[in-house]
Structure 1
Amino acid sequence: MTLVQMQTRPAGAGPTHRKAVEAMDSAGPQVWDDMSVEVALSVMAAARTGRLVVCDQDSQCTALVTQRELTAIRNSSAYTDRVRLRDVLGVHAPFAAP
């Protein structure tokens, strides 16, 4: 399983495509929704970012999650190390990063 997916910018990308890729890059690293909350927090720390783009098994971006949200989940009384991002994020439609 790949923990973080990096996107390369095609050399011939037009201005519209460049804007979309830059927006995704600025949103944070991409992770999969089957990742545990603890691992997602570790990825955030390693990437020195405060947010992650969460993707589903079809590589569709489904959510943007922040360090504050994940820390609150980890500190809750219902938390276990088996909690996955998809368990706490619920069902989301694909989104476009700001």
Structure 2
Amino acid sequence: MQSRPMSGDPVRAPLGDTVAHTVEEAGPRVWDDMTVEVALSVMVGARVGHVLVCDQDGRRTGLVTRAKLTAIRDGSAYTDRIRLRDLGGLALAR
């Protein structure tokens, strides 16, 4: 697992967003080059139902839930080489 520099800026919701949207922005971050299994392990370890997905520069590119990753992992097309960036719009939501 590679360590990545974290931005000093906290995740902030734009003005006018709801509390629910702000809560959705909080949580552990993973990088898009992580495998589905590693992302699931992060969620289990952090005891959360979702993680923020970031690119190489630490910018948020999406959010993925444990339910979505579990469904992908349990699917017939799953291999242990599938990375979060390979999922495209399937599991990531803005």
The answer to whether TM tops 0.5 is yes
Structure 1 match to 2:26: 27
Q: How many residues align?
A: 82
Identity of aligned residues (%): 56
Q: Which runs of 5+ in 1 are unaligned?
A: 10-16
Q: If the length of structure 2 is used for normalisation, what is the TM-score?
A: 0.71
Q: Distance in 1 between matches of 2:31 and 2:78?
A: 19
Where structure 2 has 5 or more consecutive residues not aligned to the other structure, the ranges are 14-21
Instruction: Report whether the alignment pairs 1:74 with 2:73.
Output: yes
CA positional deviation for 1:28:
1.6
**Bigger Rg, which one:** 1
- 1:52 and 1:61 map into 2 onto residues whose CA distance is 10
How large is the RMSD of aligned CA atoms in angstroms?
A: 3.0
Match of 1:2 in 2: 3
CA distance, structure 1, for counterparts of residue 68 and residue 31 of structure 2 = 16
The runs of at least 4 consecutive aligned structure 1 residues that moved more than 2 Å come to 5-9, 23-27
Residues 37 and 83 in structure 1, CA contact (< 8 A), matched pair in contact too: yes
Q: Which amino acid aligns with 1:20?
A: R
TM-score normalised to the size of structure 1?
0.69
